[in-house]
Amino acid sequence: MSILGNRVQRREDPALLRGDGRFVNGDDLPDAAVVRYVTSPVAHALLESIELEEARSAPGVLAVVSAAELGLADQGPVNPMLPTTMPRPLLARDRVRYVGEPIVAVVAETEAEAEDAAELVIVDYDFLDPVVEAADARRDDIVLHDEAGTNTAFHLELGEDPEFADCEVVVRQEVLNPRVAPAPIEPHVAAAWWEDDRLVLRAASQGVHPVRDVLAEVYELEHDQVRVIGADVGGGFGAKARPPAEVIVLGELSRRVGRPVRWFPDRSADMVGMGHGRAQHQRVEIGGSRDGRITAYRLTVLQDSGAYPSMGALLPFMTRMMLTGCYDLTDVAYRSDSVVTNTTPVGAYRGAGRPEAAAAIERAVDLFAAEVGLDPATVRRKNLLRSDAFPYQTPSGVTYDIGDYVGALDLLLEAANYEELRAEQGRRRAEGERLLLGLGLASYVEITALSGGSEYGSIELLDDGRFRIVTGSSPYGQGHYTTWAMLAAERLGVPMDRIEVVHGDTDVVPTGGITGGSRSVQIAGSAVVDATTKLVEAARERAADGLEAAVEDVVLDTTTGRFHVVGAPSVWVGWDRLAANVDIPLAGVSDWSADGPTFPFGAHLAVVEVDVDTGGVRLRRLVAVDDAGTIINPLIADGQVHGGLAQGAAQALLEEFRYDEDGNPITANLADYAAISAAELPSFERIPMETPTPMNTLGAKGIGESGTIGATPAVQNAVVDALAHLGIRHIDMPCTPERVWQAIRSATS
């Protein structure tokens, strides 16, 4: 029986649960000095002067470094689509552009000494008016980067004016996709030291090789002069994809003090330093006929990129890709402007640009349904692409591989008992109950392995009969250790516990990419499969020698792990014997490239109760159909979706990173920032659906981000739906009790 498709428990968990994880905690670096950054307390100011002397002479201090002494080049654009005129100094020089921007690095013997010395650094600020709102930034009244002469960092357009004039019904709405903090459990920790002329960095990252490449460039070193080690990482959600300035400079600080240095930001530093997500101001315009057919759609996006344009400025690129979602829509237009503001730079956050596209169109479809007076499920069914439309080229120029959007919706509605829920909603309204029921739908499609690329995978038979996989992927919660072993065990015919998986060390793994965009199973998983196939092929030749048979006649029985001549299983050679006789190592190596991206899809239904007196919202059910093609490990896939559903619900109901009008963060800790907990969530209901993709031999698409893409608009739509009979058509995320109560009050008074 195949192990693939089984609910195999994560092999990485026992060690993590016992506290035996190998995180960057400094235990293995007893002589490491501690780094603390003096960060900007103001959103926008010129740096008049910086006095370091008092700090330098404080007890335990080893070095105090500002931009003037650092000697490392500014960071250029992370992508050629971004301007070169908005560079980021690693430590602020001349000007600070957001609260939390590092200005001075203090290196000391202990945390307390570093902390105390940091307080002795005197920075003289010449305050400038801050630009906090993206809409203000676009006016360019105050320009953040003089050389650029504008705050707009990136602009995109697609399509002409849609024919709204021909539509019987047109709805227009401003929609906020709020700024959120990724807040993984483990902050952005790192430690650096030099071994002769080699720079070594241990860091919580989403891919050690991309971090190595950045360091090699900054320090003008060859790739083999830099070693980056990842090991266990406590989550990232996209925010650990690139090394932040605070991590990049550690190498220079270590060089100066001649010792390893470590940086462990506390939660508040992480909340403003790590990078934020989403932060899109959208305008949706949707039109069609009274019978529910949608014919025209326009999305206009104002992307807040934060102080320095990075991945966040490029989120509209992904939003444009997924503009039309699951719908059969051709008369569409898109325009986006990414602007810089005096806020924490925005980066990738689970889904990165695709949840924003789904949230926009799914909200728009509900607005349209309300306007024409049809059930949102009916409008969706009328407009979804049919299953014979694939491969389908969208107006944005991407080609959806395969899909069954109507099938996903039907499965969902039936599993959730949609009709009964609607009846219950009607009953509560009719009887004037104070707890109203709301049903929210979202049909979504997303893109995974969008940036393609290749991944390294190898597998070797060790002389004790065990196997070692070396993978280019760097998991931080996705269970690759288990999944890659399953993929190999299946083809080797051995139990999984004979297979170890090594990742996250540039000295051990030749190449690797970022674990992001839900690309890993498709690319790194395929590399493992390819490498295993090659290993089996090489082993078959050895086995043929032992069996004194022609290679073509020898087969591997994957139920027993025995090589034998076809039709004669009683005489066999096993992996143990091959291992014992290994003089030339037996291995398979792969550098696997994807044929192209895949497009997972699904449908989510959220059921909420809204208290009309308080505006309080309780999420009662979240039912999810997520089709990621062939599922390798349904248990891990469930976990991935559950995490995404929780984040989607969190953004819809609670989470928003906020600033006051001076650009001061007012949600920079986990007391003020309303991260969701299990107490606010129901037990999720997952309905399996698998439509294998033709894009890889596994038939697998990504699932790491799906949950958040469908759940966010489903939950928001549910809150609005609960109040639809009061004439309420829209409530911005997060639908906090205050916002909901205000909406009820305006509608009823």
Closer Cβ to ligand MCN, 180 or 439, answer by number: 180
Q: Does 520 bind ligand MCN (CB under 6 A)?
A: yes
When asked if residue 485 is in the footprint of ligand MCN (CB under 6 A), the reply is: no
Out of 152, 310, 515, 691, the residue judged to bind ligand MCN by CB under 6 A = 515
**Closest CA relative to residue 284, chosen from 244, 224, 335:** 335
Q: Is 611 exposed, middle or buried (0-12, 13-18, 19+ CB in 10 A)?
A: middle
What is the footprint of ligand MCN within residues 379-438 (CB under 6 A)? none
Pair type for strands 33-39 and 261-263? parallel
Q: Are strands 152-158 and 331-339 parallel, antiparallel or unpaired?
A: antiparallel
Among 98, 164, 467, 476, binds ligand MCN (CB under 6 A): 476
Six token digits for residue 601: 């899809």
Span of 26-34, 325-333, 421-429, 479-487 interacting with ligand MCN by CB under 6 A: 479-487
Is-contact 20 11, C-beta < 8 A?
A: no
* φ and ψ at residue 311, rounded to 5 degrees: -60, -30
Q: Which of 83, 210, 236, 355 binds ligand MCN (CB under 6 A)?
A: 236
Token reading at 300:
């206009």
Nearest to 606 by CA among 435, 440, 359: 440
Q: Which of 380, 480, 534, 564 binds ligand MCN (CB under 6 A)?
A: 480
| Residue from 628, 630, 600, 614 nearest 736 by CA | 614
From the list 129-137, 303-311, 509-517, 724-732, the region that binds ligand MCN by CB under 6 A is 509-517
Q: Does 640 bind ligand MCN (CB under 6 A)?
A: yes
| Residue among 343, 344, 339 at smallest CA distance from 304 | 339
Q: Which stretch binds ligand MCN (CB under 6 A): 173-181, 516-524, 535-543, 614-622?
A: 516-524
Residue 702 sits in the site that holds ligand MCN (CB under 6 A): yes
Per rule CB under 6 A, is residue 506 in the interface with ligand MCN? Answer: no
Cβ closer to ligand MCN: 487 or 603? 487
Does residue 516 touch ligand MCN according to CB under 6 A?
A: yes
Burial annotation 688-710 (CB, 10 A radius, 16+ → b, else e): ebebbbebbebbbbbbbbbbbbb
**Contact present, 587 and 458 (Cβ < 8 Å):** yes
Choice between 292 and 477, CB closer to ligand MCN: 477
Which CA distances in Å does 347 have to 304, 457, 478, 488, 653?
10, 28, 20, 35, 21
Asked if 651 touches ligand MCN (CB under 6 A), the answer is no
- The answer to whether residue 517 forms part of the interface with ligand MCN (CB under 6 A) is yes
Q: Of 228, 521, 607, 714, which lies in the binding site for ligand MCN, with binding defined by CB under 6 A? A: 521
- Rounded to whole angstroms, the Cα distance separating 74 from 93 reads 10
Residues 6 or more apart whose Cβ sits within 8 Å of residue 431: none
Among 298, 350, 498, 564, binds ligand MCN (CB under 6 A): 350
| Rounded CA separation 733/175 (Å) | 8
Give whole-number Cα distances, 639 to 301, 602, 684, 715, in Å. 32, 16, 10, 19
Stretch that binds ligand MCN, among 59-67, 301-309, 437-445, 629-637 (CB under 6 A): 629-637
Contact between 637 and ligand MCN per CB under 6 A: yes
Q: By CB under 6 A, is residue 479 in contact with ligand MCN?
A: yes
Any contact of residue 693 with ligand MCN (CB under 6 A)?
Answer: no
Q: Does 647 bind ligand MCN (CB under 6 A)?
A: no
- Of 580-588, 632-640, 675-683, 727-735, which part binds ligand MCN (CB under 6 A)? 632-640
What are the tokens at 746? 């305006």
Site for ligand MCN in 164-193 (CB under 6 A): 184
Q: Is 307 helix (H, G, I), strand (E, B) or coil?
A: coil
Residue number closest to ligand MCN, CB atom:
477
Instruction: Tell me the site size for ligand MCN, rule CB under 6 A.
Output: 35
Residue 238 interacting with ligand MCN (CB under 6 A): yes
Q: Nearest 5°: CA angle at 741, between 738 and 747?
A: 140
**In the complex, least distance from residue 188 CB atom to ligand MCN, rounded to whole angstroms:** 12
Part of the chain binding ligand MCN (CB under 6 A), chosen from 49-57, 297-305, 519-527, 649-657: 519-527
The yes or no reply on residue 454 touching ligand MCN (CB under 6 A) is no
Please report, as ranges, the residues that interact with ligand MCN according to CB under 6 A: 184, 235-238, 350, 476-480, 483, 515-521, 628-633, 636-637, 640, 643, 700-705
